[in-house]
Amino acid sequence: MSEIKDQATEELLELRTSIDNMDAALIHVLAERFRLTKKVGKLKAEHDLPPSDKAREQSQVERLRHLASQADLDPEFAEKLFSFIVKEVIRHHEQFRENTV
Amino acid sequence: MSEIKDQATEELLELRTSIDNMDAALIHVLAERFRLTKKVGKLKAEHDLPPSDKAREQSQVERLRHLASQADLDPEFAEKLFSFIVKEVIRHHEQFRENTV
């Protein structure tokens, strides 16, 4: 019994190492994504392009839901996460506009 | 003027293509992360290990905040995102327990 438990604990540690690697990947992909959206914000502000683009956002949501389904990730969760990230992007855009006005 | 605007539109499309690639990466890393946490949930349920581990969560938060800072990503945002993902993990664990009881 104790040996089985030890084996389970070892397997748990193995899984946690992989989860930690995935989290590091998430952080770095997100960091890069915000670098890109900051450039978008700057470009839009400089060229007086509209700050939000509903058609673009709608197509992003549809694409992400589709990708999520294919990867066996709940599409509802993917959409909620996308909204969460977009809120942060908008916050950055607003900060940028405030700092440049 | 129109040429500059065309150039800005082209640059915007370039940036959007990169953002779409980052989003696809996020979806796939998240899908893999949930595959791993589902295995963790199954292992914990099978071996009667405690479902939550506050010390582990605390060290994950600290590590993620540190990684975020290094990558110039707002640590507050990283922590909020982590909580958002962990909530979904707990929902999966609960579903799993309900389905196996």
Q: What residues of B are in contact with residue A80 (Cβ under 8 Å)?
A: 84
Chain segment B28-66, per-residue pLDDT in tens? 999 999 999 999 999 998 998 887 889 999 999 999 999
Which residue from A48, A54, A45 is spatially nearest to A92, judged by alpha carbons? Answer: A45
**Phi then psi for A53, rounded to 5 degrees?**
-140, 95
- For residue A95, what pLDDT is reported? 79
pLDDT of B86: 92
Nearest to B27 among A31, A67, A80 (CB): A67
Residue B100 has pLDDT above 80, yes or no: no
pTM given for the model: 0.91
CA distance A62 to chain B (A): 12
Check whether B1 has a pLDDT greater than 70. no
Contact A27 B56 (CB under 8 A): no
Q: How far is CA A2 from CA B75, B88, B101, in A?
A: 40, 31, 24
ipTM of this complex: 0.91
Give CA separation, A10 vs A3, B9, B35, B40, in Å: 10, 53, 18, 11
State yes or no: pLDDT of A61 exceeds 70: yes
DSSP state, residue B1: -
Mean pLDDT of chain A: 91
Q: Which residue has the tokens 């389905």?
A: B99
DSSP B41: H
CB within 8 Å: B73 and A31: yes
